[in-house]
Amino acid sequence: MSGMKTPVSVLRLPRGPEPNSRGFDPTSPRFIALCPTTLPSSSSSSGSADEEEQRLRAELRERFLRTLLLMTGKRVRFDMHEHVRVHARFGASDIDVLNLQVCDLETPLGVQREALLRSQDVIACSFEV
């Protein structure tokens, strides 16, 4: 008998997680209402402080990107989690800096010709300029 029942219709399925974001949309009504904004608001009193913050952010970002450029082709020391320290020749990073392409990665198991390091595993990198 139950096989003849009509299933309840749904408008759509629940939305799943976004692949590249942790969510908590800052443009959602709840976020806007409950959180103090860090982005420029329309009031002039906070305008200059926000502009300064934006300028500093832009400067730091540019420094970071130039560092990546400078690192290209150089032998870099990567300090990673669990007290791992490896050396490799740095190639490039992907657009979101999620992965770092390296060659001749020196590991306790031998030298890996080509490898990808996960950025989230890397604590620091150092190299001779």
Partner 1 sequence: MAMRQTPLTCSGHTRPVVDLAFSGITPYGYFLISACKDGKPMLRQGDTGDWIGTFLGHKGAVWGATLNKEATKAATAAADFTAKVWDAVTGDEVLTLAHKHIVKSVNFTEDSTCLLTGGNDKVLRIYDLGKPEAEPLEIAGHTSAIKKALWCNNDQQILSAADDRTVRLWDKNTKEAVKTLAFDASVSSMEYIPDGEILVITYGRTIAFYNANSLDLIKAVDAPASIHSASLHPEKDFFVAGGDDFKLYKYDYTTKEEMESYKGHFGPIHCVRFSPDGELYASGSEDGTLRLWQTAVGKTYGLWKCVLPEELSSENSEVLYCPPAEIKA
Interface characters, 108-127, with partner 1 (x: CB under 8 A): --------------------
Residue 102: strand pairing partners:
90, 115
Residue with tokens 């003849």: 4
Phi/psi region, residue 104 (left: phi>0; alpha: psi -120 to 50; beta: rest), is left
39 binds partner 1 (CB under 8 A): no
Choose the stretch contacting partner 1; rule: CB under 8 A; options: 5-13, 60-68, 84-92, 94-102: 5-13
Binder of partner 1 out of 25, 51, 52, 94 (CB under 8 A):
25
How far is it, in rounded angstroms, from Cα 38 to Cα 52? 12
15 binds partner 1 (CB under 8 A): yes
Tell me if 106 sits within 8 A of 98, measured CB to CB: no
Binding site for partner 1 (CB under 8 A): 2-3, 5-18, 22-26, 28-31, 33-35
